[in-house]
Amino acid sequence: MIQSKSNITKTIGQLFMAPIPGTDLDEGTIDLIKNHGVSKFIIFQRNVADGPERLRRLCFDVKRLCRKNGLYPILAIDQEGGPVRRLRPPLFDDMLSPDDVRKSKEPEKKVVELAESAFRLIRPFSIDMNLAPVLDLCLHGEKNVLKARCLGKDPLRVARLGGLYIKRLKELGILSTCKHFPGIGRVRLDPHHHLPKVDVEKDLIMKELYPFKQAIKSGCPAVMTSHVVYEKIDPKQPATFSHKIATSLLKKSLKFKGVLITDDLEMKGAMKVATHEMACFLALKAGHDLLLICKSPKKVRESISFLQYAIKDAKIPENRIMDAINRVKWLQINKVS
């Protein structure tokens, strides 16, 4: 269906995943939903500080308000297990970690249990999407920025385990997110604080992204990139802003049909390249469909306004906007709650 530019600008809020400041539905979040059309939100530990009942109420209130305003809500969370999990003891039950899977003598059994343990924690709160599994390879062991977050260092093994994880989450009604394309296993600097660079041949990068390739073939609904420069693919831009990586490699060469999500655009790795408004513009233009901002609702509002003007001025091709909107609609249709 063809939409006018004015209609497209009104729906641009659908291309953002936004933060919630606290444990209650606040005026800023209400404004994002009612006046900016935002309906995708990410849950952090700041949202769970008052325990399960308060979190359940928050998630219910957010979804109810979205639906009241004709929007389709998606709530996401990083519940990988190990060092990255928002629901953790003592307020919430413990869970397995990717490291448990990596070290196990029965990794196939353990990775299914990992998916199930994440499901048990997030499902009571009607959370639709887990930003996992990590499909990066553990190439530097304990010195890697992905310490205790990887399923292994062998591409074939990680592909097999990642596929089992994605399959089990799908069976349980949870959307998965494969990260961080095309792989940050060689990164030693943390993109939260730096703009890392990977300087290896493209053939090696293609070999090491094999788990993503297999995940795409098996129907992984979402992929996340990271703020890393792959010099032999695109020496000028990190994956977040790289058309060569987001569109040419992932969407065209690997035929990825799902939703491409940025990592947090407030990370230093992105902010070293562009302001938050320009980061959203560059990421969307490069081929990302969902723009993740994890801390500041104000930056979400500013970025929506910036993109609306960019669309009116034809700074982003109309077919790129429509492709992103259609992919996000597909994700909404494929969620359960």
Query: Which active-site residues does the annotation give?
Result: 192, 263
Question: What gap in Å lies between CA 152 and CA 149, rounded to an integer?
Answer: 9
Beta strands 84-85 and 79-81: pairing type? antiparallel
Residue with tokens 């049909």: 257
List the beta bridge partners of residue 291: 16
CB 125 within 8 A of CB 59: yes
Of 94, 98, 117, the closest CA to residue 162 belongs to: 98
Instruction: Please check whether residue 206 is in contact with residue 233, taking contact to mean a CB–CB distance below 8 angstroms.
Output: no
User: Is-contact 39 72, C-beta < 8 A?
Assistant: yes
Q: CA 72 to CA 76: how far, in whole Å? A: 13
Nearest to 184 by CA among 144, 242, 151: 144
Name the burial class of residue 203, with classes exposed (0-12), middle (13-18) and buried (19+) by CB atoms within 10 angstroms of its CB.
Answer: exposed
CB atoms under 10 Å from CB of 103, counted, come to 11
In the numeric block, which tokens belong to residue 50? 């008052």
